[in-house]
Amino acid sequence: MSIVRVALDVPLPKLFDYLAEGAGRADIGRRVIVPFGQRRQVGLIVELAQASEVPAAQLKAVIAIDRDLPPMPAEWLKLARFAATYYQHPLGATLLSLLPPALKRLRPPRAEAPTAYVLTAAGLAHIPEINPRAKAQRQLAERLQQGPLPVSEAGPWRGQLRLWHRTGWVEAAETMPASPATPSAKPELTPDQAAALAAVRAAPAGFAAWLLHGVTGSGKTEVYLRLIEEALAAGRQALVLVPEIHLTPQTEAAFRNRFPSARQISLHSGLADGERLRVWRACLDGRVDLVLGTRLAVFTPLNRLGLIVVDEEHDASYKQQEGLRYSARDVAVWRARQLDIPIVLGSATPALETWRNAARGRYRRLELSARAHAEAVLPAVKLIDTRVDRPRLGLSASLIRALQDRLARGEQSLLFINRRGYAPTLYCNACGYVVPCPRCSAHQVLHRKGEKFELRCHHCGLLTRPPEVCPDCGSPDLRPAGQGTQRLEETLATQFPEARILRIDRDTASRRGAFAAMREAVNARAVDILVGTQIVTKGHDFPHLTLVGVLGADQALLSPDFRATERLFAQLMQVAGRAGRAGRPGEVLVQTGYPGHPLYRALQAHDFARFAAQMLKERREMEFPPFSHQALLRAEAERIDVALAFLDKAKQAGLALARQHGVSLFDPTPALLARVARRERAQLLVQAGSRGHLQDFLGPWLEAVRGLPARTLKWSIDVDPLDF
């Protein structure tokens, strides 16, 4: 009788043994259903065993091994094991969290959702008969005649397609079929691009990590495309990771147009379970050439992977903030090394960790120093000193003049403010009271909803009506304090009644298709002034935009989070890159009370290297990453003293080990945001000079921590944390 070791989604870092008649090596990596306690659970077979420590009489037998699906490949299991070990997450919980959700169910649904729709001969014959006034139908027909319609773009026609499918006018395709279309034309490479490609090609085959550093608009994408082209031509697969917000139908289409004969899939958490399963299945079967995805795509099972690209490698969305708290960028580098293939990390503002890796020669740096379009020049960045030119309702006189100029010339402007809602707070003008969230250690944010106002907590989601009078002193003189996107939009409408204004933040962009509509409106010049949070700054090309105004950026300079300035700089570089793309010189005006700040100076010079050098110097002095390696033990409980006491016990339990490994354990402290949804949060920082020392310490330490009583609290470990 064979014994299988099974990974289960339980919070214990161990595997479970089961009897499995007839199980063999070919079952490693297969899904299995086993009895666990009173219930059945889905697990994954990770190993075979000769004997078990569990007495034979107590060993239970598996209920069923799922042999419908190919087993997860050995490379995938190895990757998952690495992630579990490195991020100190139980192996079973890790493995199961990496499977598509449908495979965690006892009875997984059939993977039948199609990837794309293709017009049939009958469909083609039917087109002339479509009623000319049936606009949606005609649009659908037109679209299908251009080639396969991926499900991700089929949203507006969903009902129609179901009907056409039933009638036999369209066929569902399993993977994105090769299209007869000719690939979109390749531009002539710029000298920088050519040099970057030559360097990559000249390198010996095998693992190499490349940092592709280039300002916004320098044409990093073209470099990726050429490398992908070569990988595909060699019969290998390419994996392209993009930040969450970048995975748009436009991005997908751009890749598809360039590689029409490649079988391409997109993978992100927004996919329906059935779709995700189908995509996964196609990968397991090797029926995929090109994977485009967000962070979770780094764990796609691929058997011919030849190249990994991580675009905007500094982006915070690569870090998973719950469960297995992994960094997709770091896992990608590990995977590339494991597979002995090249990886390209691209960014205009690389993470300081990455920048230092390049400086130390671990990564090789490729520079794209000029913008790809010959006429596109970098915008002039000017600072508006708000101590002199005091803003009224957020807008300084200089900024208003600049906006006026653009309106007069028929050019577009973008105002960037990283605050959604109407105003960050509602306060009492008589006594200074600010309305707090009753459940969090944060203020509620004032939002406008039609004619009414409401208070929302951006941390726990609590929604309340604003009080009529001050809860503290009874004064009716309650006022909004500060600016949010909604209020700015209102102010602009009063200031420029003739201007067409469009606001873009999470509240307006959450609807499906909102982004596409926005882009269209902006490109059709149906918008004069855009108001938005950081989501507008990402990856959009606005050819008629010549002015970017930045409001409220100083706030990040005052943040206690040591990464806040790094993030601000990346955002400002990104937003500045929106101006002046198609030959029109752009201008960026930053309102600040600290015009001498080195961050703004470096921004004016478009000089990331200078900024990075300053930051690294500070980090070195403070012994912050990348000059040290950190882990954060977090605890949350109803009372802060409970959380702190637990962390203190954890600290005591680790002191001797820490000394032995040369690791520092700091004192437990309340988190920066100490209370969220009535839970008090505390944390304990662990810091070491080297990754190895930190890893050596964490394993045995956490084993001890697991033994501590923790009935009334929840704790977790975050290795290489980004948020404090």
Is the distance from CB of 682 to CB of 615 less than 8 angstroms? no
Site for Zn ion in 416-475 (CB under 5 A): 428, 430-431, 433, 437, 439-440, 457, 459-460, 462, 470, 472-473, 475
Cβ 466 to Zn ion, closest distance in Å? Answer: 13
Give the CA distances from residue 307 to residues 236, 246, 281, 499, 647, in Å, rounded to whole numbers and listed in that order: 8, 20, 21, 47, 42
For residue 62, the partner it binds in Zn ion, ligand ADP, none, with Cβ less than 5 to 8 A by kind, is: none
Give the CA distances from residue 82 to residues 3, 199, 413, 692, in Å, rounded to whole numbers and listed in that order: 24, 30, 47, 14
Interface with ligand ADP includes 218 (CB under 6 A)?
Answer: yes
The alpha carbon of residue 421 and the mean position of all alpha carbons in its chain are separated, in whole angstroms, by: 22
Cβ 312 to ligand ADP, closest distance in Å? Answer: 9
Give the CA distances from residue 540 to residues 515, 519, 536, 570, in Å, rounded to whole numbers and listed in that order: 10, 8, 7, 15
Interface with Zn ion includes 624 (CB under 5 A)?
Answer: no
Q: Which helix (H) or strand (E) holds 352?
A: helix 352-359
- Mark out the alpha helices in 217-344 (DSSP H runs): 220-233, 249-258, 273-284, 328-339
The residue among 488 and 588 lying less far from ligand ADP, judged by its C-beta, is 588
DSSP character string of 629-659: EEEEEEEEESSHHHHHHHHHHHHHHHHHHHH
Q: Given phi > 0 = left and psi -120 to 50 = alpha, else beta, which region is 378?
A: beta
Cβ 504 to ligand ADP, closest distance in Å? Answer: 19
Interface with Zn ion includes 478 (CB under 5 A)?
Answer: no
The DSSP call for residue 375 is T
Interface with Zn ion includes 674 (CB under 5 A)?
Answer: no
The closest alpha carbon to 35, from 67, 68, 58, belongs to 58
For residue 187, the partner it binds in Zn ion, ligand ADP, none, with Cβ less than 5 to 8 A by kind, is: ligand ADP
Interface with ligand ADP includes 213 (CB under 6 A)?
Answer: no
Interface with ligand ADP includes 372 (CB under 6 A)?
Answer: yes
The residue among 553 and 576 lying less far from ligand ADP, judged by its C-beta, is 576
The DSSP call for residue 443 is B
For residue 222, the partner it binds in ligand ADP, Zn ion, none, with Cβ less than 5 to 8 A by kind, is: ligand ADP
Interface with ligand ADP includes 219 (CB under 6 A)?
Answer: yes
Stretch that binds ligand ADP, among 26-34, 216-224, 478-486, 529-537 (CB under 6 A): 216-224
Cβ 714 to Zn ion, closest distance in Å? Answer: 18
The closest alpha carbon to 197, from 168, 226, 221, 159, belongs to 226
Interface with ligand ADP includes 193 (CB under 6 A)?
Answer: yes
Interface with ligand ADP includes 221 (CB under 6 A)?
Answer: yes
Interface with ligand ADP includes 373 (CB under 6 A)?
Answer: yes
For residue 433, the partner it binds in Zn ion, ligand ADP, none, with Cβ less than 5 to 8 A by kind, is: Zn ion
**437-474 exposure pattern, b = at least 16 Cβ within 10 A, e = fewer:** bebbbbbbbbbbeeeebbbbbbbbeeeeeeeeebeeee
Cβ 635 to Zn ion, closest distance in Å? Answer: 19
How many other CB atoms sit within 10 Å of the CB of residue 30? 21
Stretch that binds ligand ADP, among 31-39, 212-220, 262-270, 685-693 (CB under 6 A): 212-220
Stretch that binds ligand ADP, among 102-110, 217-225, 476-484, 494-502 (CB under 6 A): 217-225
Residues of each annotated binding site: 428, 431, 437, 440, 457, 460, 470, 473
Cβ 393 to ligand ADP, closest distance in Å? Answer: 33
Residues of each annotated binding site for Zn(2+): 428, 431, 437, 440, 457, 460, 470, 473
Interface with ligand ADP includes 264 (CB under 6 A)?
Answer: no
DSSP character string of 100-132: -GGGGSSSPPP----SEEEE-HHHHHHGGGS-T
The residue among 41 and 218 lying less far from ligand ADP, judged by its C-beta, is 218
Polymer length in residues for the chain: 724
Cβ 189 to ligand ADP, closest distance in Å? Answer: 5
Among 90, 217, 421, 668, binds ligand ADP (CB under 6 A): 217
How many residues touch Zn ion (CB under 5 A)?
Answer: 15
**Amino acid type, 548:** V
For residue 193, the partner it binds in Zn ion, ligand ADP, none, with Cβ less than 5 to 8 A by kind, is: ligand ADP
Interface with ligand ADP includes 645 (CB under 6 A)?
Answer: no
The residue among 90 and 577 lying less far from ligand ADP, judged by its C-beta, is 577
Cβ 219 to ligand ADP, closest distance in Å? Answer: 3
The residue among 103 and 545 lying less far from ligand ADP, judged by its C-beta, is 545
| Measured distance between the N- and C-terminal CA atoms of the chain, rounded to whole angstroms | 50
The residue among 187 and 471 lying less far from Zn ion, judged by its C-beta, is 471
Cβ 716 to Zn ion, closest distance in Å? Answer: 20
For residue 473, the partner it binds in ligand ADP, Zn ion, none, with Cβ less than 5 to 8 A by kind, is: Zn ion
How many residues touch ligand ADP (CB under 6 A)?
Answer: 16
For residue 457, the partner it binds in ligand ADP, Zn ion, none, with Cβ less than 5 to 8 A by kind, is: Zn ion
For residue 266, the partner it binds in ligand ADP, Zn ion, none, with Cβ less than 5 to 8 A by kind, is: none
Give the CA distances from residue 132 to residues 141, 157, 168, 259, in Å, rounded to whole numbers and listed in that order: 11, 17, 21, 34
Among 97, 152, 160, 216, binds ligand ADP (CB under 6 A): 216
For residue 373, the partner it binds in ligand ADP, Zn ion, none, with Cβ less than 5 to 8 A by kind, is: ligand ADP
Site for ligand ADP in 90-119 (CB under 6 A): none
Is the distance from CB of 34 to CB of 40 less than 8 angstroms? yes
Interface with ligand ADP includes 214 (CB under 6 A)?
Answer: yes
Tokens of 705: 């921590």
Is the distance from CB of 111 to CB of 281 less than 8 angstroms? yes
Among 63, 173, 189, 657, binds ligand ADP (CB under 6 A): 189
Is the distance from CB of 493 to CB of 526 less than 8 angstroms? no
Instruction: State the burial class of residue 508 (Cβ atoms within 10 Å of its Cβ: 0-12, 13-18, 19+).
Output: buried
Tokens of 661: 């490994």
Decide: helix, strand or coil at residue 42: strand
Residue 225 to residue 332: CA distance in whole angstroms: 18
Is the distance from CB of 420 to CB of 483 less than 8 angstroms? no
- 């040369």: which residue's tokens? 662
Cβ 353 to ligand ADP, closest distance in Å? Answer: 21
Site for ligand ADP in 526-555 (CB under 6 A): 541
Tokens of 406: 């653009």
Cβ 424 to Zn ion, closest distance in Å? Answer: 14
Stretch that binds ligand ADP, among 20-28, 220-228, 527-535, 680-688 (CB under 6 A): 220-228
Cβ 443 to ligand ADP, closest distance in Å? Answer: 36
The closest alpha carbon to 124, from 112, 108, 142, belongs to 142
Is the distance from CB of 119 to CB of 170 less than 8 angstroms? yes
Decide: helix, strand or coil at residue 506: helix
Binding positions for ligand ADP, rule: CB under 6 A: 187-190, 193, 214, 216-222, 372-373, 541
Binding interface with Zn ion (CB under 5 A):
428, 430-431, 433, 437, 439-440, 457, 459-460, 462, 470, 472-473, 475
